[in-house]
Amino acid sequence: MDKKCVCQKTQRHFLDSAFSRLKLKASRQALLLSSFRETRVTVPVTLRHNGENTLHTFQGYRVQHNHARGPFKGGLRFHPDVNLGEVRALAQLMTWKTALVDIPFGGAKGGVAVDPKQLNETELEELSKRFCQKMAPIIGVHEDIPAPDIGTNPQVMGWILDEYSKTHGYRTAVVTGKPMALGGCAGRLEATGHGVAHLADKAAMAMSLIAEQSRVVIQGFGNVGSHAAISLASKGYKIIALSGSRGGVYSEKGIDVGLALAHVRETGALQGLAGTAAVSNAELLELPCEILIPAALEATITCDNADAIQAPLIVEAANIPITHQADQRLQQRAVVIVPDLLANVGGVLASYYEWVQNLQQFPWDRELVLSRLEKRLSRTYDVVRDLAQERKIDMRSAAYELAIGRVDHAIRLRGF
C-alpha cells in the first residue's frame, strides 16, 4: 500500500476511536474530518540541467483543515513523495496539535512534490517564490501562517516573506521559522528537537529509566533528529545509533553528537563516522535500546517490523511514523509511546511564540523562549498522562480525545 493511504488510514483509525469514546454524532464527525479548503497549484520553474535551461512544472498543495480556534497554521514540505492525501492527513494532525497545546491556531499543511536536493539555490528561491505567489490569496498573518517542515528551512521562509511582502507590505508574521535577521524567534530552529528530548526525558523518568544508563536510537538526523540528539546527550543519555536518508551509524559505546554533526557537515552523510559501524535504517529500528525516536518520514514502523522493536519507550518526533496496526501490536507489548501530536508539538509552539513576538514587535531572548516552551510542554504532557491514567487508555488516545474535544467545543461556540 502506498504511503499516502497508510497515513490517511492510520490517522482515520485514531480519530474514529476518539470519536466513539467522545460519543460524537456522525454529522459532527464529518465536520471535524473535512478540510475547510484544499488548494492545488502548478509551480513552473526553469531548471538548468547539463548546461541547458528547461521549464519544469511542480505540483504544490496547501490544505487548510480547520480554523475554529484561530488562523490556519502548519508547515510547508518539499519532498518528492508529497501528494494531496498525505498533505491532508498532516493538515488534520496540525489541527489536533495546536488544540492539544492550547494555542490560538487551527491546522494546515502545504507541500511541493520536488526533491530539493536536485535544485540549486537560485532554483529553490524561484520555486519558493512562485509557490508563494500562487498561494498568496489564501495565506496571511491572521489567515494562514506557513512554517518549515521536511525539505524546507528558515531561508525558504525568508523567500516566502519577501514574495508575500511585495503585494501586502512587510508582514513578518506571515511565516514562522524565519531567519533571526528577518524577525525569527531565538530557539525556534532547535525547538522541535529540544521539545522531543524534554518529553522523552519526562517519559523516561516516569518509567524509572536513568539517563546515564539509557541507550537512545534516533532515526533521522535532520533538524529535529539532530537537535533531539544534542539535547538528550546534554542530559546524559547515551546516543548509540543515528541515521540519515542514506543509512546510519552505530556504536555501543555511544556516539559523540558534536562529531557526528561535524562529519555530516564535511562529508554530507553519517557514513564513515570514526568509531562507528554502518547500520541500515531498517536494522537501526530493531536495535536493543531504551528509547527509540523515529524522526524521519511517515510510516517507518509497520506490521513488518513492530514485533522486532526492542525499545520499551518510543517518542514520535516524526509525524505519523507508526501505522495503526503496528501501534496495536506495540500496545499489546505495553510499549510506551509518546505520540506525535504531543512529542513534536514544540515546533509549532515556538512558532506561536514567534508570531506573538512579530505582532508585538518585541523579541524575547532564547532562555525565555525555551523556558516557556518546556513549561507548556510539561503541563500538556501531565494533562495527557492524567487523562490516560484516569481512563485507562494510552497517551495517543488521551491526546486525541483532548484535542478533538477542544476543536469540537470551539465549533459549537462559533456555531459553524
Give 188 or 385: the residue with its C-beta nearer to ligand GLU: 188
Q: Which of 347, 377, 388, 403 binds ligand GLU (CB under 6 A)?
A: 347
Stretch of 30-38, 258-266, 328-336, 345-353 lying at the interface with ligand GLU (CB under 6 A): 345-353
**Residue labelled with grid coordinates 520536488:** 114
385 CB neighbour count, 10 Å cutoff: 18
- Close Cβ partners of 205 (under 8 Å, ≥ 6 residues apart): none
* Candidate list 24, 132, 147, 403; residue touching ligand GLU; CB under 6 A: 147
For residues 88 and 17, give the distance between their C-alpha atoms in angstroms, rounded to a whole number: 19
Query: Phi, psi (5° rounding) for residue 183?
Result: 95, 20
Q: Which is nearer to ligand GLU, 263 or 406 (CB)?
A: 406
Size of the site for ligand GLU (CB under 6 A): 12
As a whole number of angstroms, the distance between CA 314 and CA 292 comes to 5
Pick the piece of the chain touching ligand GLU (CB under 6 A) from 68-76, 120-128, 230-238, 395-403.
68-76
* Nearest-angstrom CA–CA distance, 77 and 66: 19
Contact 403, 97 (CB under 8 A): yes
Least Å from the CB of residue 375 to ligand GLU = 18
In the complex, least distance from residue 396 CB atom to ligand GLU, rounded to whole angstroms: 16
State the Cα–Cα distance between residues 12 and 341, nearest whole angstrom: 14
Residue in 60, 71, 74, 154 binding ligand GLU, rule: CB under 6 A: 74
Residue 77 or residue 215: which is nearer to ligand GLU going by CB?
77
Q: How far is the CB of 349 from ligand GLU (least distance, A)?
A: 8
Smaller CB distance to ligand GLU: residue 286 or 374? 374
201 and 235 in contact (C-beta within 8 Å)?
A: yes
Nearer to ligand GLU, 39 or 176 (CB): 176
Site for ligand GLU in 152-211 (CB under 6 A): 176-177
- Return the number of the residue (237 or 352) whose C-beta is nearest ligand GLU: 352
Part of the chain binding ligand GLU (CB under 6 A), chosen from 120-128, 230-238, 344-352, 387-395: 344-352
Contact predicate 99/70, CB 8 Å: no
Sequence letter at residue 104: P
Considering only residues 385 to 404 of the shown chain, the ones binding ligand GLU according to CB under 6 A are none
The mark string for 105-144 relative to ligand GLU (x by CB under 6 A, - otherwise) is ----------------------------------------
H-assigned helices in 207-323: 223-234, 257-267, 281-285
The string of DSSP letters for 318-368 reads: SSS-B-HHHHHHHHHTT-EEE-HHHHTTHHHHHHHHHHHHHHHT-PPPHHH
Q: Does 75 bind ligand GLU (CB under 6 A)?
A: yes
DSSP 376: H
Assign residue 67 a region (left: φ > 0; alpha: ψ between -120 and 50; beta: otherwise).
alpha
Among 10, 11, 319, 397, binds ligand GLU (CB under 6 A): 319
Catalytic residue among 109, 129, 178, 238: 109
Residue sitting closest to ligand GLU (CB): 75
Smallest separation, CB 303 to ligand GLU (Å) = 25
109 as an active site residue: the answer is yes
DSSP H or E run through 158: helix 154-168
Residue 103 DSSP SS3:
coil
Residue number with CB closer to ligand GLU (74 or 294) = 74
Instruction: Tell me whether strands 238-244 and 247-250 are parallel, antiparallel or unpaired.
Output: antiparallel
Task: Work out which of 348, 369, 393, 399 binds ligand GLU, going by CB under 6 A.
Answer: 348
Under rule CB under 6 A, residue 214 binds ligand GLU: no
Backbone angles phi, psi at 146, to 5 degrees: -70, 165
Considering the complex, state which of residue 263 and residue 294 has its C-beta at the smaller distance from ligand GLU: 294
d(CA 8, CA 90): 9
Which amino acid is residue 279, in one-letter code?
V
What is d(CA 128, CA 354) in angstroms, rounded to the nearest whole number?
21
**Does 228 participate in binding ligand GLU (rule CB under 6 A)?**
no
Residue of 351, 357, 358, 397 that binds ligand GLU (CB under 6 A):
351
Q: How far is the CB of 273 from ligand GLU (least distance, A)?
A: 28
Q: Site for ligand GLU (CB under 6 A): which residue of 4, 62, 67, 73? A: 73
Q: Give the footprint of ligand GLU on this chain (CB under 6 A).
A: 73-75, 147, 149, 176-177, 319, 344, 347-348, 351
Active site (catalytic) residues: 109
